[in-house]
Amino acid sequence: MDLDLAFSADAELAPQLLAAAGVWADPLAGAEPWHTQLSSWLEQLADELPPELQSPGYSLGLSLVGDAEISALNADWRDKPGPTDVLAFAAQDDDLDGAPPMPLPPGLADDDEEDLDGEAEPLELGDIVISLDTAARQASEHGHSLERELLFLASHGLLHLLGWDHPDEASLTAMLSRQERLLATD
């Protein structure tokens, strides 16, 4: 499975949090472990995906930010005050704020997207934004490592990008169960 991953960790994050997150927050090495992890999860989920989300390659962004930045995003996009742990901005959500789907470049059909070299373009899934500040607090509250919390939040964000949602208790339970199965394969 081909994955085009754009990874970033806010340079303004507290040095002790960056150190605690280790390689998962290292802008120089961080893309590699995230790339490996997300690719593995996408391969595991491939057979469960609806046809419109099945692709030989994907593209997504993953950003680690502080509480101030995620609070601003939470307010702007969800009209909710304060920080949250993870936000997912799904590119394939066809009812995103009532906006029409993104237009394709001339000559490209939905089922035949190719770049100029004739290779299939990766399917854009969207962006996952995780608050490292909130993740660290939650890791402490739950009695596990920051690494485990970051992986838990990233898996949650990825499932949202792939169309999972939790509007009620039953769907939340199903989503959390699927996350745990993804994390168990690490």
- Give the CATH number, domain containing residue 105: 3.40.390.30
Range of the domain at 162: 2-184
Structure confidence by residue, pLDDT tens digits, 141-160: 999 999 999 999 999 999 99
pLDDT at 93 over 80: no
Of 51-60, 84-93, 105-114, the poorest mean pLDDT is in: 105-114
Q: Which three-class secondary structure state does DSSP give residue 103?
A: coil
pLDDT of residue 121: 87
Which phi and psi (to 5°) does residue 40 adopt? -60, -45
pLDDT of residue 118: 53
Q: Where are the strands (E) in 10-91, listed by range?
A: 57-65, 86-90
Average pLDDT, the chain: 87
How far apart, in whole angstroms, are the C-alpha atoms of residue 25 and residue 132?
9
User: Following DSSP, what letter does each residue of 56-77 receive, concatenated?
Assistant: SEEEEEEEEE-HHHHHHHHHHH
How far apart, in whole angstroms, are the C-alpha atoms of residue 37 and residue 32?
9
pLDDT at 106 over 90: no
How far apart, in whole angstroms, are the C-alpha atoms of residue 145 and residue 151?
10
* Structural domains of the chain, count: 1
Structure confidence by residue, pLDDT tens digits, 6-62: 999 998 999 999 999 999 998 778 689 999 999 999 999 999 999 999 999 999 999
